[in-house]
Amino acid sequence: MCNNECDATTEELAHPPELMFDFEGRNPTTFWQSTSWKKYPKPLQVNITLSWNKTIELTDDIVLTFESGRPEQMVLEKSLDYGRTWTPYQFYATDCLDAFTMEPKTVNDLTQRTLLDIICTEDYSRGYVWKNDKTVRFEIKDRFALFAGPRLHNMASLYGQLDTTKNLRDFFTITDLRIRLLKPATGATMVDENNLSRYFYAISDIKVQGRCKCNLHANSCVFDKGKLGCECEHNTTGPDCSRCKRHYHGRAWSVGSYLPIPKGTANI
């Protein structure tokens, strides 16, 4: 950690936001760092927003790797309308009842019926300097496993649910993510007002794995003119292949199907 050598005005000592997304194979680790909690007791709150300007379907866990202690309070939020409105994905706290008036739960408490519930977990908010406790997750695969089994061997069951349940599809779909850091790690102790420089947020890596939402009418997604877009097939068009091409309205547009595995069905 940089201690007293952080200086945003000096390139060698700065820790800008782009260091959350660079390749982490190097040593030492690069990371973004917030300002310190100099204005305590005013809350030290930071928002980190990731925008794709495209609808994305999540395929694996969202993983944040902290170089500092993991935050004692945090909210992960999603948007489906390019940042106009936001809804919570998950709450994180050392004490869920105190922070958010929510009973603490884990993804293992969810069932097929409650998969869409928004929970608060205490699993990722403890551990100030433990070397192996740097990550915070939003567990996508564990939620998939509620339908596909613990080893995801029964993907047909999951795909069948995604085909028929719009709310389930939408749950795993985003245009933007927002990480709201609400309280930094304090080591579960009283805040030392004589040493406020030790309290801050630092993130070395943010990993979000997904694919372009193309309504199952494209096999690829390309970056063109500063935007992601589906390479639509089946005589469909639009950023998400969500309408028929001109002169191809003999049948109504429909979303494709994941089934049968592996190629699915165009439904057009």
Same domain, 149 and 165: yes
Same domain, 80 and 68: yes
* Domains held by the chain: number: 2
Cα end-to-end distance, the chain, whole Å: 56
Same domain, 189 and 264: no
Same domain, 49 and 105: yes
Question: Among 212, 238, 257, where does a domain finish?
Answer: 212
Q: What residues have CB less than 8 Å from 52, skipping those under 6 apart?
A: 174, 175, 176, 228
Same domain, 113 and 219: no
Same domain, 102 and 64: yes
Find the CATH number of the domain harbouring 139. 2.60.120.260
The CA angle 50-55-56, to the nearest 5 degrees, is 70
CA 120, CA 117: separation in Å to the nearest integer? 10
Q: Lowest-confidence range among 3-17, 60-74, 129-143?
A: 3-17
Same domain, 219 and 208: no
Q: What residues have CB less than 8 Å from 23, skipping those under 6 apart?
A: none
Same domain, 161 and 200: yes
Question: Among 179, 196, 212, where does a domain finish?
Answer: 212
Q: Residue 225 belongs to what domain range? A: 214-268
Same domain, 170 and 261: no
Asked whether the predicted pLDDT for residue 27 surpasses 70, the reply is no
Output the CA–CA distances (angstroms, integers) from residue 193 to 7, 72, 101, 196, 262, in the order listed.
Answer: 22, 18, 27, 6, 59
Q: What is the pTM assigned to this prediction?
A: 0.90
Same domain, 194 and 241: no
| DSSP for 217-228, written as a single string | -EEEEEEETTEE
Q: How confident is the model over 111-159, as pLDDT tens digits?
A: 999 999 999 999 999 755 555 679 999 999 999 999 999 999 999 999 9
Q: How confident is the model over 194-233, as pLDDT tens digits?
A: 889 899 999 999 999 999 999 999 999 999 888 899 999 9
